[in-house]
A and B are shown apart, each in its own frame.
Chain A
């Protein structure tokens, strides 16, 4: 589940009970961004922290967007959740620190968030690592769950 508890979501800076009425305008912005993605193939990123929202309102936005088909978790400097909302092309990205506190949250309107791609910069290193592994002629043991020929 997405952490929206204002006590632990440290960057969820609005602690007021007062509604800001930013929910509908924000959803309109998402709508326009989606249109822009279709017509111009442009990606839009909205920083939820940059918009004043009462704690209940952020929940509200996330509930309206809902959860779609993709739910990915990164394990980098604490977990990150990348969720495609029920509206295809609208992603919700939440970064946590190792203490599972939210450090940033974005709505990304794109076909695929950049951070999900395997990063080109990391691939040469992985090639090198794999080459080393292979060249060391490690005895290949069949694993318990998967048969290998």
Chain B
């Protein structure tokens, strides 16, 4: 316990050095982070200085209605990446999947971290919160909502990781049986940094952490609470297949000539044009590729309600409902109505014609 305390009192720079990370590596990390977050390179020395002298931050990670895919995404980098540097240097005081403790000991660790770092710890949440019935999802007998509100109170910053925590995600999908909501819908008094994606890109989390540790503030967010540095461009705008879209060259099926030639996947339902994320630039699996590069349209997983977007393989411009059916029914009904109205008009005309009486000279003399 004493050792752990000492560890927490160390600065990030000291921890990194004790792990054998040279300062040059650290400078390289700072330069790459600045570049990724679109921070002016003039600020790199400032970032380095601030991060080096930052105290090891305490992080409490709460998992609610989720699939642990977000944690997998963040912990499965195969190589020593720059993002793993930051992960290694935080003090992850509570995380269901990763912590050794269980049961009461685990909850005690969370309570201790909250007490010792009141107002200073970072709260990371993945998963949505069920409001339908508190019993739908509980941890140690505490409902997700209660645990979130209790832990959020003393948090310095709150990061919602993954689409479930940011917009409700799969649990929120129609018909939303648990009444799942996002963090934003229950936390009103603090800004929530949204890092959507199913799962999100690991480097975004590091970027947010680095930004927080450097500037003591949260990064510039867009209207959906996402860091602009990573969610500032649509997949479509950064897609290497974009020139094919512009030329009108599309894959019509998954195995036609166009698909083999790597043409645009718009017609196969790609949601790239309406999806804001960094996949096309940072890529996945240690920079190997991203879904479109692998030949599959973007599902739009970092946008709200992507499960209910009318089908993953339906082109974005297509209506989501069966309009042909509507059109046929409407046309049939309208034809009948038109004939009925036409007949009424004719009857009216005939009646007018029949009741028409000629004006005679005697009428005029009256």
Contact = CB atoms under 8 A, between A and B. Distances in A.
A73 to B, nearest CB: 12
A104 B32 contact: yes
Nearest to B81: A97
Contacts of B282: 10-11
A45 B80 contact: no
B175 interface: no
18 contacts: A10-B281, A10-B287, A13-B281, A45-B41, A46-B41, A47-B40, A49-B35, A50-B35, A50-B38, A76-B28, A77-B28, A95-B28, A97-B82, A97-B287, A99-B287, A104-B32, A115-B24, A119-B27
The 8 closest A-B pairs by CB, nearest first: A119-B23, A45-B41, A104-B35, A76-B25, A15-B240, A98-B79, A103-B32, A47-B41
Contacts of A114: 27, 45
Given A50-B38, A101-B287, A121 B17 contact: yes
Interface of A: 10-11, 13, 15-17, 44-47, 49-50, 74, 76-78, 80, 93, 95, 97-99, 101, 103-104, 106, 114-115, 119, 121-122, 125
Given A76-B22, A121-B23, A45 B44 contact: yes
Interface in B62-88: 79-82, 85
DSSP majority for the A interface?
Answer: mixed
Contacts of A46: 41
A12 to B, nearest CB: 9
B29 interface: yes
Given A10-B287, A15-B242, A16-B242, A77 B25 contact: yes
B146 interface: no
B108 to A, nearest CB: 36
Contacts of A97: 79, 81-82, 286-287
Contacts of A125: 17
B261 to A, nearest CB: 16
B177 interface: no
Nearest to B31: A104
B79 A99 contact: yes
B29 A77 contact: yes
Interface in B119-154: none
Contacts of B80: 77, 98
Interface in B1-38: 13, 17, 22-25, 27-29, 31-32, 34-36, 38
